[in-house]
Amino acid sequence: MDQYQMLQLLDELLRMPAETEWLEYKEAKSDYDFRKVGKYFSAISNESNLKGRQYGWLVFGVTDDRKIVGTQYRSKRADLDNLKHEVAIKTSGGLTFMDIHELILPEGRVLLFQIPAAPPGIPTAWEGHFYGRNGSSIVALNLQEIEQIRSQGVREDWSAQICESATIHDLEPNAVQRARVEYKKKYPRLTDEVDDWDDTTFLNKAKVTIQGKVTNTAIILLGKPESEHFVHPAVAKMSWILKDKDNIEQDYEHFSPPFIINSELLFSKIRNLKYRYMPDNSLFPIEVNQYDAYVIREALHNCIAHQDYEMHGRINIIEKADELIFTNLGDFIPKSIEAVIERDSPPEYYRNRFLAEAMVNLNMIDTIGSGIKRMFFTQKKRYFPLPDYDLSDPKKVRVRVIGKILDENYTRMLINHTELDLSTVILLDKVQKREKIKPEEVRKLRAQRLVEGKSPNLYVAAKIAEITGDKTTYIKNRALDKDFYKSLIIKFLEQYQSANRQDIDNLLMSKLSDTLDHAQKRKKINNLLFEMSKKDGTIINSGSSKKPKWVLT
């Protein structure tokens, strides 16, 4: 909405006869309790759903009698925008504001929080509790209302559907045997019982079949290769594709069911080479595989568990020289990887719940919801870059696992600072990958003296450089004082009387921070020349704008 539309909307809301379940006014002083914002978010989201509205409103800077008094709540826009992230972490499904509208009026500043209705089937929780409204008061959402939301648009689990014409004879015997072995690893106390079960009993107990009937899950995990037609028009295929440094395909292989066996065959295709790096103060290199076996299997098995098979596409694993890329179709249901890592609890909804539970029982994935966080911890312990989750395509999840060290400073930092928590390491990983991080995240790293530089060109801090002995890279990255660069230009002109732009570029380019790219270095030099000629008055351009010739004044 533009400013005019927002003013119209505010006028409409203020003309409402009273607050409703989906509308709340708050004076909201600067120290307004963040937890109250969260409770209102849950309550208005749930009530908007129950009232059939697309969204509701929480309005700050307005009293209960609808008088505009203004608010200084999170007066900086960056802090206001970060509220979305903070709310998403503590709400179910990572739900957050559709938008936060800011209006500066003669009477004061007004904030309008646009709160989405709870999605069909998923009531909105704040810190694990469901809230609703009784008049203008926040109350616990009652059980009837919770069930009313949960019963909306309940999606049938495709993975639990029965393949009517299939029988247990359509399952691969070797796959069923492998399933027994893995089930006993998962539940060792049941080993003796499992050996006494016939196949039908075992498959029912493992929740791969339902009352002896073959499910889509059974075909995907245990079916014979020729049994894939039972899930048609859905597609059950995995592809391994090898590419060179120019992204040209060198080799490939496709894999059909049974995935419990063929995922291992795909795993064996990946060239997991040895990688060496030298820790500080050591004469002996550390030698590890490029990829941790758990990380590869977890990423691959997550693709199998969360693939939207009805989108008629394949699971792809692309192998390049130093990275693996896993892709599966379907949106990332938790919405953000931060929500998964920080909330550390399984989502309330799964695309293929029956399939995921079967894979847990067959020892293919960890307890539902914990595998991703373990992948991050595993890479942290190996001092390698963390997995990259690309969620930019709403119809696809793309995970990249890097098999080499990107920044030796990052690796040395993890070796020397094992006490760093995972959330901090995630931020440092973004810094080493030159990804943009939020202002408040930069402040967090600066507070621990882990980074220096001007955002977004952050780099390893001097404190860490001194500890790790990497002082050379620190000096190359560090932005020197402007007076230093100006003095170089003046000394050059004193000796050679004049300089064109190429002379000055040759003089300064190699001395500017390595965190700057070529274009940024050129801009830095432009600013220096402008400041010296227009503000300092130490040099003038005796040439033209197209062919400058700088001399001392």
| Per-residue pLDDT tens over the stretch 337-370 | 877 776 655 565 678 999 999 999 999 997 666 7
Q: Mind listing the pLDDT tens digit for each residue in 219-277?
A: 999 999 999 999 999 999 999 999 998 999 999 999 999 999 999 999 999 998 888 76
For residue 365, give both structure tokens.
């994935």
Give the contacts of 238 (CB within 8 A, at least 6 positions apart).
254, 255, 259, 262, 263, 266, 300, 303, 304, 314, 315, 316, 317
Domain 482-552: give its CATH code. 1.10.10
- Band (546; pLDDT cuts 50, 70, 90): confident
Domain ranges of the chain: 3-150, 155-369+388-402, 408-477, 482-552
Type and span of the H or E element at 108:
strand 108-116
CATH code, residues 3-150: 3.30.950.30
State the average pLDDT for the chain. 88
CA distance 293 to 307: 21
pLDDT (average), residues 491-495: 90
Q: What is the pLDDT of residue 345?
A: 55
Q: 94-102: long-range contacts at Cβ-Cβ below 8 A with a sequence spacing of 24 or more?
A: 94/334, 94/335, 94/336, 94/339, 95/45, 95/119, 95/124, 95/335, 97/41, 98/55, 99/1, 101/1, 101/6, 102/77
What number does CATH give the domain 155-369+388-402?
3.30.565.60
In this predicted structure, what is the pLDDT of residue 407?
80
Q: Which of 151-155, 255-259, 472-476 has the lowest mean pLDDT?
A: 472-476
- Per-residue pLDDT tens digits for 35-91: 999 999 999 999 999 998 989 999 999 998 889 999 999 999 888 989 998 999 999
Q: Strand, coil or helix: what is 242? A: strand
pLDDT value for 469: 45
Residue whose entry in the numeric block shows the structure tokens 């509208």: 101
Mean pLDDT check: name the lowest of 214-218, 256-260, 436-440, 514-518: 514-518
**Is 482-552 in the same CATH topology as 155-369+388-402?**
no
The larger pLDDT score, comparing residue 545 to residue 56, is at: 56
Per-residue confidence (pLDDT) for residue 514, from 0 to 100: 64
What letter does residue 436 receive in the DSSP assignment? -
Identify the residue with better confidence: 471 or 386: 386
Cα 455 → chain centroid: 20
Q: How many CB atoms lie within 10 A of CB 310?
A: 14
Q: Average pLDDT for residues 493-506, to the nearest whole number?
A: 91
> How many CB atoms lie under 10 A from the CB of residue 275?
18
pLDDT confidence of 282, banded at 50, 70, 90?
low
